[in-house]
């Protein structure tokens, strides 16, 4: 077993060196496929994150209260709201707290709020709903209450956002599958060219009594090596650029709008395994497919 | 060693071999003669299970060839050394690698490969060409490499398909001497040939095939009947 694999690896390396140009071409095509794939992967992962943050930030209903409503009345309202079907919890946020929260959210730019003469924020109640779909019903129950200045909730926005992310995810998946198939075909064709050039040799090997796997072995390993190199190169490229993008984004104003990007360490740790298994899969499957015709007994 | 029992091979309604019965013992040296298209190639292809017999049974040593599953074909072929008219060496491998390849496929240890290959090369007399590529050799030398490769795993049977067909008479005789030498070591040899002179001089068993039938089987025969 060990001897057989050692032989395959040795032969595969010889073949790779002999067919440098062809191999470079397939490595290049795998790399570019994986780069596009990586782009979509990054897009999907980040949109997922965005959707998650959006959902957790917007599954609340903000109820801004008129300034002349006293604390006691507010607590009464709070209790009443908690009995409404679909409501998870109701939190009271007074003016001061609202200001502190906003300062926090602005981060380094929070000092801008220090210049305010009076606190512009109203007292408010924040309702968390169990399900986003219940928000409409809850709001219609609250609307009639006294002392409410304004009600803000984002059901339609969030729903639209979710629809869009679902669509992008689905489209991305379909595209990824298509790209994988294309990559397999490309590798299969590259290996097929080498195999075709050696059709006669393969015939001789079979006459001498070589098994199909013995003949296939070196080509199989060749495909795997091409796959590993291709995926390695693409991961390196993605790592480099994504890190740059993250760095650029984190120093700019984006933080203010609390748009988060998936940290590059996390992304690369996942991407590297996905890509290597894809590269190996594409390479080995491609080589096996391309040899099928020549090994028919 | 080799046994054909009522073997027929039909291509459509054409019989390449019809109802052939044949037995070749261990250590024999047999010439298989006959005009082109008589069924000699069919005989070899059947023996190597390159094609399936339409009818009958074929045995090679302990193996029943006609009953052998396809995945066992490599095992069969390792028991049979083959030498072709056109040598069929691997063009991108050196002489040494070509011979070693037959040992690679049976997963021989690198140590035994290093030991046995030079022996085989010296047996066929091309030790000094070990690092050359096939295209750098003369036809006779290429055939020697092919013979070294065919016997390296000590097959019980060596099949030579017109091994002298591409060689000049002197070289042909050198190859024949080599085959005799291998035969003396106990290997059964079946040689398909058109070389009348060689068959006549060797005085070995001659099996004649014509139109798919064995028309004669002489223990110390000549190429043609002398009526």
Cβ–Cβ gap A7/B70 under 8 Å: no
| The total number of residues written for chain B in this structure | 227
Residue range B105-126: mean pLDDT, rounded: 92
Residues A101 and A163 in one domain: no
In this structure, the answer to whether residues A110 and A246 fall within a common structural domain is: no
| pLDDT for the residue A57 | 67
CATH placement of domain B1-79+156-227: 3.40.50.300
Please identify, among A93, A120, A146, the residue that sits at the C-terminal boundary of a domain.
Answer: A146
Q: Are residues A163 and A291 in the same domain?
A: yes
Does A210 sit within 8 Å of B105, measured CB to CB?
Answer: yes
- Domain count for chain A, please give it: 2
pLDDT of residue B64: 93
**Residue-averaged pLDDT of chain A:** 79
Helix, strand, coil percent content, chain A, rounded in steps of 5: 75, 10, 15
The CATH number linked to A109 is 3.30.70.3040
| Cβ count within 10 A of residue B168 | 11
A85 and A226 in a single domain? The answer is: no
Closest chain A CA to residue B92: A201
Across the interface, which of B71, B90, B107 has its CB nearest the CB of A201? Answer: B90
Predicted confidence (pLDDT) at residue A258 exceeds the cutoff of 60? no
Structure-model confidence comparison of residues B184 and A106, the more confident one = B184
- Please check whether residue A151 lies inside any domain of the structure: no
Domain ranges (residues) in chain B: 1-79+156-227, 89-154
Q: Domain check: are A263 and A185 in the same one?
A: yes
Question: What pLDDT sits at residue B140?
Answer: 93
pLDDT digits (tens, 9 = 90+) for B208-227: 999 899 998 988 877 875 44
User: Are A211 and B90 a contacting pair at CB < 8 A?
Assistant: no
Using a CB-CB cut-off of 8 Å, the residues of chain B touching A204 are 88-90
Asked whether the beta carbons of residue A204 and residue B77 sit closer than 8 angstroms, the reply is no
Task: Note the pLDDT of residue B227.
Answer: 42
| Residues of chain A found within 8 Å of residue B70, distances taken between Cβ atoms | 297
Given an 8 Å threshold on Cβ–Cβ distance, is B75 in contact with A297? no
Does A194 fall in a domain?
yes
Question: Within an 8 Å CB–CB cutoff, is residue A5 touching chain B?
Answer: no
- Contact residues, chain B, for A18 at CB < 8 Å: 92
> A237 pLDDT exceeds 60?
yes
CA A47-A49-A51 angle, to 5 degrees, is 70
pLDDT tens sequence across A191-226 = 777 777 778 888 888 888 888 888 888 888 888 888
Residues A168 and A137 in one domain: no
A124-128, A260-264, B93-97, B178-182, range with the lowest pLDDT? A260-264
Residues A204 and A278 in one domain: yes
**A2 interfaces chain B, CB cutoff of 8 Å:** no
pTM of the model: 0.68
Q: What local confidence, expressed as pLDDT, does residue B4 receive?
A: 94
Residue A256 has pLDDT above 50, yes or no: no
Name which of A4, A7, A207 is nearest B77 (Cβ-Cβ). A207
Residue B150 to residue A208: CA distance in whole angstroms: 8
DSSP three-state, residue B210 = strand
Domain identity same for A120 and A17: no
- For residue B173, pLDDT over 80 is answered with yes
Q: Does the structure show a pLDDT above 50 at B58?
A: yes
Judge contact between A242 and A194, C-beta under 8 A: no
| Rounded Cα gap, residues A170 and A175, in angstroms | 9
Listed in sequence order, the residues at least 6 apart from A162 whose beta carbon sits closer than 8 Å to its beta carbon are: A51, A55
Closest partner residue to A208 (CB to CB) among B70, B92, B101 is B101
Q: Which of A120, A146, A172 is the last residue of a domain?
A: A146
Most confident of A98-102, A110-114, A244-248, B52-56: B52-56
Q: Domain boundary residue among A99, A120, A146?
A: A146
Say yes or no for a CB contact (<8 Å) between B149 and A208. Answer: yes
Closest alpha carbon to A54 in A217, A172, A166: A166
Cβ neighbours of B71 in A, within 8 Å: 211
Q: Do A34 and A170 lie in a common domain? A: yes
- A179 in the same domain as A98: no
Domain span including residue A115 = 67-146
| Chain A closest-CA separation from residue B195 CA (Å) | 24
Residues A122 and A221 in one domain: no
Size of interface A-B (CB pairs under 8 A): 48
Residue A113 lies in a domain: yes
């Amino acid at each position: 077993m060990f001897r057989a694999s050692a032989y395959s690896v040795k032969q595969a390396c010889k073949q790779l060196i002999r067919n440098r140009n062809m191999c470079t071409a397939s490595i290049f095509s795998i790399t570019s496929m994986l780069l596009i794939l990586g782009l979509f992967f990054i897009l999907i992962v980040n949109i997922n994150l965005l959707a998650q943050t959006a959902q957790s930030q917007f599954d609340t209903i903000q109820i801004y209260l008129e300034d002349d409503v006293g604390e006691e009345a507010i607590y009464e309202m709070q209790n009443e709201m908690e009995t409404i079907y679909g409501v998870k919890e109701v939190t009271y946020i007074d003016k001061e707290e609202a200001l502190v929260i906003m300062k926090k959210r602005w981060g380094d730019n929070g000092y801008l709020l220090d210049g305010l003469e009076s606190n512009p924020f109203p007292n408010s109640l924040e309702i968390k709903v169990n399900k986003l779909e219940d928000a409409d019903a809850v709001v219609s129950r609250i609307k009639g209450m006294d002392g409410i200045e304004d009600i803000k909730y984002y059901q339609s926005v969030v729903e639209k956002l979710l629809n869009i992310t679902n669509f992008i995810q689905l489209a991305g998946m379909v595209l990824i599958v298509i790209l994988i198939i294309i990559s397999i075909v490309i590798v299969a064709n590259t290996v097929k060219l080498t195999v075709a050039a050696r059709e006669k040799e393969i015939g001789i090997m079979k006459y001498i009594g070589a098994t199909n796997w013995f003949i296939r072995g070196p080509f199989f390993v060749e495909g795997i090596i091409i796959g590993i190199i291709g995926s390695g190169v693409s991961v390196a490229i993605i790592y480099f650029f994504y890190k740059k993008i993250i760095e650029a984004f984190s120093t700019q104003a984006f933080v203010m709008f609390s748009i988060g990007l998936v940290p590059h360490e996390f992304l690369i740790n996942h991407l590297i395994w996905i890509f290597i298994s894809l590269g190996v899969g594409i390479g080995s499957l491609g080589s096996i497919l391309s040899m099928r015709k020549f090994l028919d007994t | 060693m080799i046994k054909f029992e009522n073997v027929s091979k039909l291509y459509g309604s054409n019989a390449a071999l019809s109802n052939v019965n044949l037995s070749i013992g261990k250590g024999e040296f047999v010439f298989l003669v006959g005009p082109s298209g008589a069924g000699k190639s069919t005989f070899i292809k059947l023996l190597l299970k390159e094609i399936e017999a339409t009818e009958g049974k074929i045995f090679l040593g302990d193996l029943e060839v006609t009953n052998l599953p396809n995945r066992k074909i490599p095992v069969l072929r390792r028991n049979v050394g083959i030498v072709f008219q056109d040598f069929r060496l691997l063009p991108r491998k050196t002489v040494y690698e070509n011979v070693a390849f037959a040992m690679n496929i049976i997963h021989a240890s690198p140590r035994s490969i290093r030991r046995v290959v030079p022996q085989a090369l010296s047996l066929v007399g091309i030790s000094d060409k070990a690092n050359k590529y096939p295209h750098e050799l003369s036809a006779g030398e290429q055939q020697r490499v092919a013979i070294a490769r065919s016997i390296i795993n000590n097959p019980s049977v060596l099949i030579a398909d017109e091994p002298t067909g591409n060689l000049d008479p002197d070289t042909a005789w050198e190859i024949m001497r080599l085959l005799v030498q291998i035969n003396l070591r106990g290997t059964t040899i079946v040689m398909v040939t058109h070389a009348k002179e060689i068959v006549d001089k060797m005085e070995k068993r001659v099996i004649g095939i014509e139109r798919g039938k064995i028309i004669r089987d002489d223990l110390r025969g000549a190429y043609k009947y002398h009526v």
